[in-house]
Amino acid sequence: MTAEKGRLIRLRRPPVFNVVPDRWIPQSIDLESVDEAWAVLSERNPRYHDGDVLHVLGVVSNGHGGAIVHLAPSSYRFHAVRAMGIDTGIRTLGLKGLCVVTRGGEAGLIAGRRSDASGSYPGMWEYLPGGGVPPESDGSVRPDLVFKRELEEECGVPSSGEAIPIAMLRDDVVGTWEVVYRCTLASSPTTSPGWEHDELALVTPATLPEPSSDAARAMAELAEVVLDDVAT
pLDDT truncated to tens, each residue of the chain (232 aa)?
Answer: 333 445 899 999 999 999 999 999 999 899 999 999 999 999 988 888 999 999 999 999 988 899 999 999 999 999 999 999 999 999 999 999 999 999 888 999 999 999 988 888 999 999 999 999 999 999 999 999 999 999 988 888 877 678 999 999 999 999 999 999 999 998 888 666 678 899 999 999 999 999 999 999 999 999 999 999 987 7
Determine the Cα–Cα distance for residues 224 and 229; give it in Å rounded to an integer.
9
End-to-end CA distance of the chain: 35
Domains and CATH numbers, the chain: 2-231 (3.90.79.10)
Given a contact cutoff of 8 angstroms between Cβ atoms, the answer to whether 219 and 180 are in contact is yes
Under 8 Å between Cβ of 129 and 144:
no
Nearest to 152 by CA among 139, 163, 168: 163
pTM recorded for the entire structure: 0.93
